[in-house]
Chain A
Amino acid sequence: MIAGAAADRVAPPGPGLGGRLREWAPAAGAFLGALAAWELLVRGLGLKQFILPSPVAIGAAVGQYLPELWAATSYTLVEILLGLMIGMVAGLLAGIVTARFGGFRESVLPFAIAANSVPIIAFAPIFNNWFGIDKQLSKAMIAAVICFFPVMINTVRGLTSASPAALELMRSYAASDAEVFRKVRIPAAMPFVFTALRVATTLATIGAIIGEYFGAPKVSLGQYIVTYSSYLNFERSWAAIVFACAIGIGLYVAVVLVERVVAPWTLERGGG
């Protein structure tokens, strides 16, 4: 009797390759459609390249200047990765300390939340001054500071998100604080932390590139965009923007892949 009742809810089968393709098809179609519309619009209206270059023109620029674009991309990517690393580690550590000690939570967290709404990018020229305008470290530090606050805040929220019942359950087993932390608080924090990390990848990319706008070697993506915009050579600016987009999307996807390995339940739950 019970077994019969049990059979009514079993695991939904995961989507196969065909299912995946069907899931992605609408998004891919919309993207290609938008590119086509863009191309037709530019040609139809006869827009000048300095207003809006066509996708084909941008594609041509990507092909033509690939070596220097690649050099600029890898230069900027190093800044972003370094910044992400510093911001993430510092944010996680600060979050753990703040979550662990109630006093910190009450005194520090409000400031962190306030700081999170400050436009940290405004400090970019000052960071350039502190860490060297021609140094990758100055942009990495901007990226790090921008990432720090969301990672820290979400870490605190995640670590304190375990339900009172879950904590009581652990109490009924006379589990130590360390066990509660390891077996309940840390796994419970995973969805929060990964949400923050996804946001952090985008913020770090923005931080580094904007930081470069205020001064950086010519070989950086930010300076590449600024330089060729000032020459009204907009295909080349757009070509660099394509690479900047690729970095942002690539890092985002990387975080999702890591999450799938480290905390698969956060994605599977709710039928993924």
Chain B
Amino acid sequence: MTVPQGGAAATPVRAPGGAGPVVDLRAVSKVFAAAGRGAVRPVEALAGIDLAIERGEFVSLIGPSGCGKSTLLRVIGDLTPATTGTVTVNGKAADRARRDRDYGMVFQAPVLFDWRTVQKNVELPLEIIGRPRGEREARAREMLDLVELAEFTGHHPWQLSGGMQQRVAIARALALDPAILLMDEPFGALDEMTRERMNLELLRIWERTGTTVVFVTHSIPEAVFLSTRVVVMSARPGRITDVVPVDLPRSRGVETRELERYFELVTRVRESLRGGEGAAGAPARVRAEGLSA
């Protein structure tokens, strides 16, 4: 695993080698038009985003509320179009990649359908691409086995705890064997204990599937624990202010959280986040607004 050194603000961050990155963002910006009654001016959510993510990486996006990290994830996933710049995923335009079902999405809410059993929820994407029933069932069982919910196939979502529901959502996201797994604060609604368990679980799944993960989070420890790189963002407009390579041992476990290097990296990201507020190149006036909001 080659991990590039973190670049400074607004410099392109590219991992070397390989047959091209899975995600390649160049000069991406996103402006939301002033639509609602509240918003008088257009909101510049993202500006000058350059980022390349290599196959098999686990990249976390972290930053204060309103820094556009979720928007960036949604731009990568073609859930919302970039205003300017190019978004290339698997060597294609993002909307082509979406039509090719290159994405698996996991949101903060599990978004499971009550009218489907756990098994049928995981089968949903396979139904959409028209896989035959036998294959659907086998694949869904395999995925539920992967997230260790094999004995809950016949349950309905409301019969599961929050953590279990989120594991079903992960199984569903992996059902199509996507090139890239996009996760938008997937464990944000869980309690701390469950969250830590889910982190271990996710690492295990990531190691087994070898998929590329882009992970949005508020939590510094979570970002450091999970990632191969942590992308630090600042708000208004959302920019990448720092990229912290995480050089912890690849195989991580409970003991990883006790390593000295882990604490150093947590501190490094925290300082980046704090510094990012000043180093983003935003005028002081905008920063003051950001703090009061």
- Cβ–Cβ < 8 Å partners of B124 in chain A: 173, 183
- Cβ–Cβ < 8 Å partners of B158 in chain A: 265, 268-270
A175–B126 CA distance with the chains assembled, in angstroms = 11
Contact B79 A168 (CB under 8 A): yes
Which chain B residue has the least Cβ–Cβ distance from A7? B151
A265–B128 CA distance with the chains assembled, in angstroms = 22
Interchain CB contact (< 8 A) of B155 among A1, A11, A170, A171: A11
Contact A168 B105 (CB under 8 A): yes
Q: Is A179 an interface residue (CB 8 A)?
A: yes
Contact B161 A269 (CB under 8 A): no
Contact A265 B77 (CB under 8 A): no
Contact A190 B128 (CB under 8 A): no
Q: Is A174 an interface residue (CB 8 A)?
A: yes
Chief secondary structure at chain A's binding surface: helix
Contact B115 A187 (CB under 8 A): yes
Q: Nearest Cβ distance between residue A27 and chain B, in whole angstroms?
A: 26
A6–B152 CA distance with the chains assembled, in angstroms = 9
Interchain CB contact (< 8 A) of A174 among B101, B149, B152: B101
Which chain A residue has the least Cβ–Cβ distance from B109? A165
Knowing A168-B105, A263-B115 are in contact, say whether A173-B148 is a contact too (CB < 8 A). Answer: no
Q: Is A5 an interface residue (CB 8 A)?
A: yes
Q: Is B111 an interface residue (CB 8 A)?
A: yes
Contact A165 B197 (CB under 8 A): no
Q: Nearest Cβ distance between residue B73 and chain A, in whole angstroms?
A: 11
Number of interface residues of A (CB under 8 A): 31
Contact A174 B99 (CB under 8 A): yes
- Cβ–Cβ < 8 Å partners of A265 in chain B: 114-115, 156, 158
Contact A8 B98 (CB under 8 A): no
- Cβ–Cβ < 8 Å partners of B160 in chain A: 9
A10–B118 CA distance with the chains assembled, in angstroms = 13
- Cβ–Cβ < 8 Å partners of A6 in chain B: 148-149, 151-152, 161, 164
Knowing A9-B159, A9-B160, A174-B101 are in contact, say whether A187-B197 is a contact too (CB < 8 A). Answer: no
- Cβ–Cβ < 8 Å partners of A270 in chain B: 158
A-contacting residues, B26-73, CB 8 Å: none
Contact A2 B114 (CB under 8 A): no
A257–B113 CA distance with the chains assembled, in angstroms = 22
B-contacting residues, A1-39, CB 8 Å: 1-3, 5-6, 8-12
Contact B99 A169 (CB under 8 A): no
Q: Is B107 an interface residue (CB 8 A)?
A: yes
Interchain CB contact (< 8 A) of B128 among A1, A2, A166, A179: A179
Interchain CB contact (< 8 A) of A269 among B101, B104, B114, B197: B114
- Cβ–Cβ < 8 Å partners of A263 in chain B: 115
Contact B114 A5 (CB under 8 A): no
Contact A169 B159 (CB under 8 A): no
Contact A8 B125 (CB under 8 A): no
Contact B115 A172 (CB under 8 A): no
Which chain A residue has the least Cβ–Cβ distance from B164? A6
Contact B111 A166 (CB under 8 A): yes
- Cβ–Cβ < 8 Å partners of A179 in chain B: 128
Q: Nearest Cβ distance between residue B253 and chain A, in whole angstroms?
A: 12
Q: Nearest Cβ distance between residue A119 and chain B, in whole angstroms?
A: 35
A166–B182 CA distance with the chains assembled, in angstroms = 15
